[in-house]
Amino acid sequence: MVSSADEVSYTSGMKWEILRKEKAENSRQIIKTLLKNRGIKTEREEKEFFHPTDPRKIKLKAFEISDESVKKAIARIKRAKKNKEFVVVYGDYDADGITATAIMWEALHSFGLDVLPHIPDRFEEGYGINAESVNNLKLKIKNLKLIITVDNGIVAYEGIRKAKELGIDVIIVDHHQKGEEKNHAFSIIHSTLVCGSALAWFFAKELSMVQDLPTTGLELAAIGTIADQMPLIGPNRSVVKHGLEELNRTKRPGLMALFKEARIENVGVYEVGYIIAPRINAMGRLKQGIESLRLLCTKNKLKAFEIAKNIGGTNSERQKMVEEVLILARKSVTSQKIIVIAGEKYHEGVIGLAAGRLVEEFYRPAIVFSTKGKVSKASARSISGFNIIEAIRAVSLHLEGGGHPMAAGFSIETGKIGKFAKEINKFADKLLTDELLQKKLRIDMELNFGEINPGLIEQLKQFEPTGLGNPGATFVTRGVEIISVKSVGREARHLKLKLKQGEHIFDSIYFGGGEIYPELAPGSKLDLVYSPEKNVWMGNESIQLKIRDIEIVS
């Protein structure tokens, strides 16, 4: 056990290393509890969790995709090459769709096909392959005989029918939920276990093996997986763990330029989710998503920096627009269980982000409509335990769209929005219980400060990458005394505290906790929810507690 407050500071160099080794064994029981909380029960599961399988060794059949579908798709691609047919990769304008398009286009190009990528215009074409876009592509490309969709297509019945009329085969590579109608595409590579870019990567890997070509783009699949908020367990953990390694040593001019523009040195889940993916998304939200695709695929360093600068500027513009929508939206929020708001000033490209922010703020499902004409477009976000797309489909109105249990997009006649709001809230009334609408903070276990040591911190690092499905370890410690507290940051929004339990003292940071500063004083006792982490400052290493929540007990 640590015997004094001095030892808890764990300053730099050899002392940290010695203490890390001494304390590692004492932390084993804590690690066992964390693994159990994440559904890891056997030694085999633990080994896979801490040492995820190289994605190159994972087959498509692991995602419940039949060998027949894969073989049929590859045979069709080989025929396209033999007959010198033109191929289009039809993607999507979000980060997952753009990375999926880049992966598939690069794989087909390496395979030797005449292939072009197509990122639909959010405002002119909307989401997913549709009849009008297929017709326009055929008019431009006379020899177009094959379309491969990525991150879309599973419910694009009209688009598939139009393609068949025009003599175009369609191979679907998609992870969205299936609809009730049967899809008549030439071949379907479908699984909800991974995101669109990861599924595209696994299919591209199978295709590359045919000609013994190198499989590239795993770093792009990692971006898509994090951006699409897939649970970081199983194959998704493998993709992200190995993909982040490739991302940190990437030589892609576009990614390197993006890192420089965003001032990123080391890339982890946070950097992808909150800095990189929003930038990739920004172009599709406000301008043309194809520009983000050009960034990922360009080999010209000068061009890469030009595009990265443009994308950074567009992302800043996007951030301002979201705040403007939120200011207007908050005034329209009612007491209904599902927030449904609509407005002409709500920019179509940012309504999904606004819906997400409303969910965070009010912890209720939110649907935001952009009303500009007879048909309005909507974006929906949900809370854990409530399938928003099932709720949308249960409404007895003719809606067009698709999505996931936690997010969806669709269109509706503007005049029906009021009726839609009533019907979806009627559907959700019994399902959205008070308990479900109560925001919960997940805590792994209770811990005493004396159990926190460098050995534990080093072992907790093995749980990375953390995220949805594998959250960072969170502990509660009761009866903690405040030694000192001060507000920091812009507008004093955050808190820095020095906290003590027994003889053990730790520095702590509470982001967003500034509003409770007047209630805190030295000598006060708290129950504390936090995540411990290593902090490095001026070459010194120490343990810092990242506070998640505080309850004042005295």
Summarize pLDDT for 210-246 with one digit per residue, the tens. Answer: 999 998 999 999 999 999 999 999 999 999 999 999 9
Going by C-alpha positions, the residue among 373, 389, 320 that lies closest to residue 349 is 320
For the domain bounded by 55-215, which CATH number is listed? 3.90.1640.30
Contact 299, 307 (CB under 8 A): no
Q: What is the pLDDT of residue 468?
A: 87
Decide which of 13 and 231 is more confident. 231
The answer to whether the Cα torsion of 13, 15, 16, 22 is positive or negative is: positive
Percent of the chain with pLDDT over 90: 79
- DSSP secondary structure letter of residue 88: E
Provide the pairing of β-strand 494-501 with 504-510.
Answer: antiparallel
Provide the pairing of β-strand 169-174 with 187-190.
Answer: parallel
Contact 176, 155 (CB under 8 A): yes
CA distance 536 to 282: 33
For residue 11 the two structure tokens come to 């300053």
The mean-pLDDT minimum among 93-107, 290-304, 503-517, 526-540 falls in 526-540
Q: Which amino acid is at 433?
A: T
Q: What is the pLDDT of residue 405?
A: 66
Percent of the chain with pLDDT over 70: 94
Place of tokens 């940190």: 248
Q: What is the pLDDT of residue 411?
A: 87
The mean-pLDDT minimum among 8-12, 248-252, 354-358, 412-416 falls in 8-12
Q: In this model, does residue 407 exceed pLDDT 80? A: no
Contact 241, 289 (CB under 8 A): no
Q: Tell me phi and psi for residue 121, to 5 degrees.
A: -80, 120
- Classify 488 as helix, strand or coil: strand
**Residue-wise pLDDT tens digits, 496-519:** 999 999 999 999 999 999 999 999
**Residue-wise pLDDT tens digits, 389-404:** 889 988 866 566 656 6
Contact 501, 449 (CB under 8 A): yes
Sheet of 400-403, strands arranged across: 339-343, 366-370, 375-381, 407-413, 400-403
CA distance 508 to 497: 5
Please list the alpha-helical segments (H only) found in 112-228.
131-140, 157-165, 196-210, 218-227
- Classify 87 as helix, strand or coil: strand
Mean pLDDT, residues 465-492:
93
Quote helix, strand, coil % in the chain, to nearest 5: 45, 20, 35
For residue 141 the two structure tokens come to 């490309």
End-to-end CA distance of the chain: 28
For residue 209, how many other CB atoms are within 10 A of its CB?
12
Place of tokens 């061009």: 303
Contact 204, 148 (CB under 8 A): no
Predicted structure pTM score: 0.87
Going by C-alpha positions, the residue among 506, 505, 546, 551 that lies closest to residue 527 is 551
For residue 348, how many other CB atoms are within 10 A of its CB?
21
For the domain bounded by 5-49+441-552, which CATH number is listed? 2.40.50.460
**Residue-wise pLDDT tens digits, 313-345:** 999 999 999 999 899 888 888 888 999 999 998
* Class of CATH domain 332-428: alpha beta
Domain regions of the chain by residue span: 5-49+441-552, 55-215, 332-428
